[in-house]
Amino acid sequence: MQTLTVDLGERSYPIYIGVGLLARSDLFKQHLAGRQVAIVTNDKVAPLYLEQLLKTLEGCEVTSVVLPDGESHKNWETLQLIFDGMLVARHDRGTTVIALGGGVVGDMAGFAAACYQRGVAFIQVPTTLLSQVDSSVGGKTGINHPLGKNMIGAFYQPQAVMIDTAVLQTLPARELSAGLAEVIKYGLICDAPFLDWLEANVVAMRELDMTVLAQAIERSCAAKARVVGVDERESGLRAILNLGHTFGHAIETHMGYGVWLHGEAVAAGTAMALEMSVRLGWISEAERDRGLRLLLKAGLPVIPPEEMTPGDFLEHMAVDKKVLGGRLRLVLLKQVGEAVITDKFPHEILEATLRADYRALVAQLGE
Ligand code: NAD
Ligand code: GLY
């Protein structure tokens, strides 16, 4: 087992990474606030892993809340089911919420933990690659609004993150690829040598080579922990973790939550951020193409939905959380391995990026 730390003073916490952590009673019990536990999961993950976790928590007073699966349920109505389950079972302030699932469950359970009786303990047990490398670390929690992705939420750090890599064996291939979008992100924004490693290992990751997956998870979590440790509440640096997300969130909101997976929308959004960085003269076409090739090798889309017009993008991007004082700020690449957040770009370059022919860009890669 590997242990990393998210260093946030009195709110610091460990990230444990290893095979079989779901069965580690000692580890779980070390981070529980008391005997009461509310496991929040969904109807896809529960049949796979709930029984194991219940066994691990034997001796605790456990309530299981099983939510409907999917991004389209990341909303107020579903959040209410968590509060209903906890209140009916009379959970008090000494309870611990455990999120057992992907990023959707983790974001909602974390938000519920932040709100329930003004805040109770919380443990993340991420079960998708995306949640293991990104969403379970750093304390962003929340739900979607019909007008904008993740618009309602709170910063609320967990007591611990338990990453059991064995659960990836049941993850559908499309979801594994979605997680790779966030892994590739770390290489592009802050760890250029990681891109070389990914180019050599992405196929093994897609084939579920557990050793390689664990290495990628550890390196990704370490990058995220570093950034969050510097800027927990996104007053600056943390925004770089949103490379491709402003374009991507527009895709998710416009297409309907769940139609494009979050990681897929981020991948197409990253292609757009790469293209805009080329148009600003910051990276070369060859560097953009390298990024596109890696995303494609990871099984990800790099062509935004053809039915979305530049106007559609601009409308959705106007409600992005990075809009400040009415000005849109975007995360772009100054160079490969160095991202910046900026509102200093000519609007025509953004428009040209939205109008660019991504199908032609892929065709010229000759893949
Ligand atoms: P998800 O939670 O919808 O999980 C994807 C699918 O895999 C779901 O159907 C889920 O039930 C299923 N699943 C989960 N674990 C499984 C397993 N081990 N075996 C088989 N099936 C399994 O999606 P996701 O990609 O994990 O997360 C996306 C969400 O995370 C989005 O809502 C996004 O906004 C959010 N997010 C949050 C942060 C953050 O910092 N909080 C960062 C990135 C993404
Ligand atoms: N996924 C972006 C962040 O955690 O800040």
Q: What is the pLDDT of residues 62-108, one digit of tens each?
A: 999 999 999 999 999 999 999 999 999 999 999 999 999 999 999 99
Q: Is 242 a catalytic residue?
A: yes
Catalytic residue of the set 44, 91, 185, 245: 245
Q: Exposure of 52 by Cβ count < 10 A (0-12 exposed, 13-18 middle, 19+ buried)?
A: middle
52 confidence band (pLDDT: 50, 70, 90): very high
**Residue burial 295-330, b: 16+ Cβ < 10 Å; e: rest:** bbbbbbbbbbeeebeeebbeebbeebbbeeeeebbb
Q: Check residues 319 and 53 and name the one with the higher pLDDT.
A: 53
d(Cα 248, Cα 107) in Å, to the nearest integer? 18
Total-model pTM? 0.97
Calculate how far, in angstroms, residue 365's C-alpha sits from the geometric centre of ligand 1. 30
Q: How far is the CA of 86 from the centre of ligand 1 (A)?
A: 23
So what's the pLDDT on residue 319? Answer: 84
Burial of 349 by CB count in 10 Å (0-12 exposed, 13-18 middle, 19+ buried)?
middle
| Ligand 2 pocket test target in 224, 240, 246 with most atoms within 8 Å of CB | 224
Based on the residue annotation, tell me whether 249 is a catalytic residue of this protein. Answer: yes
Average pLDDT over residues 100-125: 98
126 lines ligand 2 (CB under 6 A): no
Decide: 134 in ligand 2 pocket, CB within 6 A.
yes
Q: How far is CA 137 from CA 46, 154, 155, 261, 359, in A?
A: 22, 14, 11, 19, 34
Q: Which of 191-200, 315-324, 344-353, 354-363 has the lowest mean pLDDT?
A: 315-324
Please state the rounded mean pLDDT for residues 213-221.
98
Check 234, 252, 264, 275 and give the catalytic one: 234
Active site residue 234: yes
Q: Is the pLDDT of residue 321 over 90?
A: no
Burial track 15-30 (b if 16+ CB lie within 10 A, e otherwise): bbbbeebbebeebbee
Cβ pair 153, 129 in contact under 8 A: no
Active site residue 182: yes
138 lines ligand 1 (CB under 6 A): yes
pLDDT for res 323: 81
Length of the chain: 367
Q: Is the CB of 312 under 6 A from ligand 1?
A: no
Is residue 367's pLDDT more than 80? no
138 lines ligand 2 (CB under 6 A): yes
As given in the structure block, the two tokens for residue 260 are 């494009």
**Catalytic pick among 31, 262, 279, 321:** 262
What is the rounded distance in angstroms from the CA atom of residue 112 to the CA atom of residue 93? 13
Give the pLDDT of residue 267. 98
User: How much of the chain, in percent, has pLDDT values that exceed 90?
Assistant: 96
